[in-house]
């Protein structure tokens, strides 16, 4: 059957695959025929994701991406791949005047440094085949909008937006495409962190701000990732795909 | 940290409300300036000063500054 969005035969590395958007992307990509390499710290939850995948020959590679040595070992052991989806991320809510280097390092290490180093290593060791695609799961925070307490988080995602453009330009020579997806809030452990602090945030007031009148699902983001990983987006690089139910229109 | 100092710390998290308005018996959430940013600032201040994590729910359960002080000490 004609399907330009098929991932049949493609090997895709998904970080942060143990929960939330990462898990959703791993599952949906497997349904499109991809062989998934699942990466995260938590082996138990990775195995849960593994058991939800369709098809065969998926692999679990446990790594703590906040450690440079783990990134290096992971890439060394990687087979040749056709794509990466950088989903691992953290959110810490902290007002501007309480920002310190500890919290800055914690957020930037996972959200910014880890995906950039992982990309660099895979390029250096030539693990990405020609016509590969790298997808960063970023955020509309720091690119289109801002939230109170998210200054460092926004900065970490804004940095990714800049990296995507320069890397897209540089890697075009190797026919490797680099794009990002900027989602609005999708229920996940990350979002729980937000509602832990802002208990007054309730579903009704959130829905009023979303023209399409529902919160996002991991699948909504996954379908965007499938497009960017597939041959359907062969001529798309350096772009930010906003998936937000229309939130940024208001 | 003594209760009086705690009151001063809480007062410092409010940018517009005059410091004289603050005392241990003040219901801080009734202040006009109360909002998500002050809530967040108080959570961060308590984390930095006491090395203790309180949640939005904890704040919600307290009326006066003294109640919050006791909650923090009990953590």
Q: Show the tokens assigned to A227.
A: 């497009």
The whole-angstrom separation of Cα A216 and Cα A181 is 13
Interface test with A, best of B13, B15, B41, B42 (most A CBs within 10 A): B41
Residue A144 backbone phi and psi in degrees, to 5: -115, -30
Give Cβ neighbours of residue A7 (< 8 Å, ≥ 6 apart). A29, A32, A33, A34, A226, A229, A230
Instruction: For residue B45, give the chain A residue with the closest CA.
Output: A98
Residues in chain A predicted with pLDDT less than 70, given as ranges, are: 187-204
Interface test with B, best of A91, A92, A94, A95 (most B CBs within 10 A): A95
For position B37, what pLDDT does the model report?
85
ipTM computed for the complex: 0.81
Inter-chain touch A199–B44, beta carbons under 8 Å: no
Evaluate the CA torsion angle A139, A144, A150, A155 in order and state its sign.
positive
The whole-angstrom separation of Cα B56 and Cα A194 is 10
Name the minimum distance, in Å, from the CA of A149 to any CA of chain B: 7
Q: Say whether pLDDT at B75 is over 80.
A: yes
Closest partner residue to B56 (CB to CB) among A95, A148, A199 is A199
Pick from B29, B49, B61: nearest CA to A98 = B49
pLDDT (tens digit, 9 = 90+) per residue, B13-43? 999 999 999 999 999 999 999 988 898 899 9
* CATH no. for A11-245: 3.40.50.720
Q: Indicate the helix (H) or strand (E) that contains A15.
A: strand A11-15
Distances (CA, A) of A135 to A30, A50, A107, A198, A209: 16, 20, 19, 30, 27
Q: Residue B57: list chain A partners with CB under 8 A.
A: 196, 199
Question: Which stretches of A119-227 are assigned E, i.e. beta strand?
Answer: 128-137, 177-183
Place of tokens 């890397």: A167
User: In chain B, which residues touch A (CB < 8 A)?
Assistant: 36-37, 39-41, 43-45, 47-48, 55-57, 59-60
Pick from B6, B17, B29: nearest CA to A200 = B29
Name the minimum distance, in Å, from the CA of A160 to any CA of chain B: 26
pLDDT grade for B4, boundaries at 50, 70 and 90: very high
For position B57, what pLDDT does the model report?
85
Tally of CB atoms within 10 A around A167 = 23
CA angle A201, A203, A207 (to 5 degrees): 110
The whole-angstrom separation of Cα B8 and Cα B24 is 10
* Residue A163: DSSP 8-state: H
The whole-angstrom separation of Cα A166 and Cα B66 is 53
The whole-angstrom separation of Cα A168 and Cα A163 is 8
Name the minimum distance, in Å, from the CA of A189 to any CA of chain B: 15
- A1 burial (CB, 10 Å; 0-12 / 13-18 / 19+) is exposed
For position A82, what pLDDT does the model report?
98
Max alpha carbon distance in chain A (Å)? 57
Q: Show the tokens assigned to A172.
A: 């075009």
Q: Show the tokens assigned to A155.
A: 């900065």
Inter-chain touch A148–B36, beta carbons under 8 Å: yes
For position A173, what pLDDT does the model report?
95
Distances (CA, A) of A42 to A18, A26, A72, B42: 7, 15, 18, 32
The whole-angstrom separation of Cα A246 and Cα A248 is 6
Q: Show the tokens assigned to A24.
A: 């959703």
């Amino acid at each position: 059957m004609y399907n330009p969005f098929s991932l049949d035969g493609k090997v895709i590395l998904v970080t942060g695959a143990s929960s939330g958007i990462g898990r959703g992307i791993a599952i949906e990509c497997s349904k499109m025929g991809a062989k998934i390499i699942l990466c995260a710290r938590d082996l138990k939850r990775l195995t849960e994701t593994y058991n939800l995948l369709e098809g065969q020959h998926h692999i679990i590679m446990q790594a703590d991406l906040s450690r440079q040595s783990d990134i290096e070992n992971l890439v060394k052991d990687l087979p040749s791949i056709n794509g990466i989806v950088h989903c691992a991320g953290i959110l810490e809510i902290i007002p501007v005047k309480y920002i310190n280097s500890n919290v800055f390092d914690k957020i930037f290490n996972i959200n910014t440094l880890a995906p950039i180093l992982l990309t660099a290593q895979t390029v250096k060791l030539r693990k990405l085949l020609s016509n590969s695609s790298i997808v960063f799961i970023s955020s509309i925070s720091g690119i289109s909008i801002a939230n109170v307490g998210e200054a460092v988080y926004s900065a970490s995602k804004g940095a990714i937006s800049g990296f995507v453009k320069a890397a897209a330009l540089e890697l075009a020579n190797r026919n490797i495409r680099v794009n990002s997806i900027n989602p609005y809030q999708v229920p996940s452990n990350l979002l729980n962190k937000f509602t832990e602090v802002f208990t007054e945030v309730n579903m009704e007031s959130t829905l009023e701000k979303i023209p399409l009148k529902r919160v996002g699902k991991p699948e909504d983001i996954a379908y965007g990732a499938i497009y960017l990983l597939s041959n359907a987006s062969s001529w798309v690089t350096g772009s930010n795909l906003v998936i937000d139910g229309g939130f940024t229109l208001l | 940290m003594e209760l009086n100092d705690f009151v001063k710390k809480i007062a410092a998290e409010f940018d517009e409300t005059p410091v004289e308005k603050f005392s241990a018996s003040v219901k801080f959430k009734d202040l006009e300036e109360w909002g998500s940013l002050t809530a967040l600032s108080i959570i961060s201040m308590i984390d930095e000063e006491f090395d203790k994590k309180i949640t939005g729910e904890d704040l919600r359960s307290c009326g006066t500054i003294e109640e919050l002080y006791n909650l923090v000490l009990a953590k």
